[in-house]
Amino acid sequence: MKLRNDFIMKKNTVITISRQYGSGGRELSQILANKLGIKLYDRQIINLAASHIGIDDMNYEALKRFEEEVPPLPVKFMPFYMFGVSGPQSLNDKIFNAECEVIKKLAKDGSCIILGRCADYVLKNQENVYSFYICANDDFRTNRGKTVYENKSLSDLNEEDLKRGGYYSHYTGHRWGDAANYNLTINTSYISLDQAADLIIEYIEKYKKIISKLVR
């Protein structure tokens, strides 16, 4: 499929991708960015957020640990992002708040793809934002764990997903991977990553055509 950004990109269009570890979500996001000729933001977001709050002496891996180290959820949980906090904030919370501001600015500045970091929630209800969840079955993920992720086991991949799920739940109050949070869930076990990217493009194209007819 040749570069396609004429119809989709008439207005700023933001695509958020959430993914199971081992589903090929990052690679798919890069394929999608190449097809549309737009930027993909992933690790840059946490570095921009850290700079925003004056942290310039931590590398990515150190900052990533702060993302993952969230306290356990209380029985009666109020979503952090919706209600905020009173009193002093932890560094984790400061980084999250800064990431939210970075994500909003990136979405405002131009069409892009944002990988992870609760972007589907941060940008929910905004016009021209489309959110997708990428998953795969255990056999597919096990194979990618061996061939792509330096021989990681399925247990290793699931452990990473537990961290992602905990982070998402802590800051949004929603269950990570719940299909209700996304425009579309795609299982990459049954189609290639290139086909998955085309499917996302076709979904957005058809959605925009339907909406344009409704508002005429």
CATH code: domain of residue 89: 3.40.50.300
Indicate whether 122 belongs to any domain: yes
* 29 within 8 A of 42, measured Cβ to Cβ: yes
Burial class (CB in 10 A: 0-12, 13-18, 19+), 76: exposed
- Residue 77: its pLDDT value, please? 42
Indicate whether 2 belongs to any domain: no
What kind and span of H or E run contains 18?
Answer: strand 14-19
Amino acid at 8: I
What kind and span of H or E run contains 108?
Answer: helix 91-109
Q: What does the radius of gyration of the chain's CA atoms come to, in whole angstroms?
A: 18
Indicate whether 144 belongs to any domain: yes
Indicate whether 33 belongs to any domain: yes
Give 126-141 pLDDT, tens digit per residue.
Answer: 999 999 999 999 999 9
Query: What mean pLDDT do residues 8-27 have?
Result: 90
Give 153-174 pLDDT, tens digit per residue.
Answer: 999 999 999 999 999 999 999 9
Indicate whether 115 belongs to any domain: yes
| pTM listed for this prediction | 0.85
* 171 within 8 A of 93, measured Cβ to Cβ: no
Indicate whether 141 belongs to any domain: yes
Give 65-120 pLDDT, tens digit per residue.
Answer: 666 666 554 434 444 544 454 455 777 888 899 999 999 999 999 999 999 999 99
Domain limits for position 123:
8-211
Total domains in the fold of the chain: 1
- Residue 73: its pLDDT value, please? 46
Indicate whether 129 belongs to any domain: yes
Indicate whether 216 belongs to any domain: no
